[in-house]
Amino acid sequence: MIGGYRIVRRLSAGGFGVVYLAVDQSGQQVAIKEYLPSSLATRGTGELAPQVPPEKLSLYRLGLKSFFEEGRSLAQISHASVVSVLNFFRENETVYMVMNYLEGATLQDFVVTARDLKKQKVFRESTIRSLFDEILRGLRIVHQHKMLHLDIKPANIFVTDDDRAVMIDFGAAREVLSKEGNFIRPMYTPGFAAPEMYRRDSSMGPWTDIYAIGACIYACMQGYPPNDAPQRIEKDRLGLSLSRLRGIYSDNLIEVVEWCMSLDPLSRPQSVFALQKELSREGERRYTKLTVGEKVRLSIDNMRSPEKKGLPKAAAPTTRPA
């Protein structure tokens, strides 16, 4: 038992913590996320409290405080597209976050499945627009609460069995550790992390999450993540990659992705509302066909390009904690 919850089994463990399936006192299934950064703390078999070396204690406590604040902030948000935090508490010298237990599959599972079927369109444009309209409604509320997600990616967008899209696994507390701990491997996700996340002195804001939204839409169109930000800064091939999709997706959707994924934060939408307005634009959508010259250039580029690095192969859709 932890905090009045009966632990059923461990669901997953990552670099930042452990997620358990548990049952509350009414018999309701919940997911409990425990703060346990593997680079800062260990735990012996049968023990509950983590062991933290003295030289890492201050950083461990900094992350603990950030994780607790994240739980407190999320508990104040009630939106269908944001994971519900039911409770959060300190025990065993760490912090636990209690969330709804969701059943369904991640957006990554769907992208990989559709890609493996070798469809021309990984997702229909109408599906992309409605899915991200739902996500953006939730993200707008998150930003209004002065929070950032900081780890939006297909693996952190959960599609429930009743067809709700829910953002899970917020990364703000991880980002605190990445910025403060010189010895900690950065915890952002290449391809979906904005350029400013790679720099310690940069300012992050809604535009940082908006970059990741653009990268997620790109993955839904291409079946693969975009190149990571450092690669793009060295040689940006985003426009070339998106030009392959002309005639398949509307010019407007392609322009939205380019706008969201601008390397300069000031060139992106500065608020979710601005992006929502563009993504929900009605009216006839233009589809520009490639010219013969562009087709030739793309063919040459395909011969030169190394094999694409895809999203990792997903297991069959299963139940998943929030």
Percent of the chain past pLDDT 90, that is, above it, reads 67
pTM of the model: 0.85
Task: Give the model's pLDDT for residue 314.
Answer: 43
- Cβ density class 209-230: b for 16+ within 10 Å, e for less: bbbbbbbbbbbbbbbbbbbbbe
pLDDT tens digits, residue range 71-130? 999 999 999 999 999 999 999 999 999 999 999 999 999 999 988 887 767 899 999 999
**305 band by pLDDT with thresholds 50, 70 and 90:** low
**pLDDT confidence of residue 205:** 94
pLDDT tens-place string over residues 20-32: 999 999 999 999 9
Query: CATH homologous superfamily of domain 8-102?
Result: Phosphorylase Kinase; domain 1 (3.30.200.20)
pLDDT of residue 202: 83
Tokens linked to 192: 């979906």
Q: Average the pLDDT over each of 33-47, 228-242, 251-265 and give the range with the smallest value.
A: 33-47
Rounded (10°) CA dihedral 33, 156, 261, 205: -30
**Predicted pLDDT of residue 281:** 78
Q: Are 241 and 309 in contact (CB under 8 A)?
A: no
Domain at 103-321: CATH code: 1.10.510.10
Report yes or no: 139 and 209 within 8 Å, Cβ to Cβ. Answer: yes
pLDDT, tens only, 195-209: 999 987 888 999 999
d(CA 82, CA 135): 8
Residue 272 pLDDT greater than 60, yes or no: yes
- Which residues make up the CATH 1.10.510.10 domain(s) of the chain? 103-321
Q: Indicate where the chain has its CATH 3.30.200.20 domain(s).
A: 8-102
Separation of alpha carbons 32 and 47, rounded Å: 17
CA distance 64 to 33: 12
Question: pLDDT (tens digit, 9 = 90+) per residue, 141-196?
Answer: 999 999 999 999 999 999 999 989 999 999 876 776 666 655 444 567 899 999 99
- Residue 269 to residue 206: CA distance in whole angstroms: 9
Using CA atoms, how far apart are residues 138 and 33, in angstroms rounded to an integer?
21
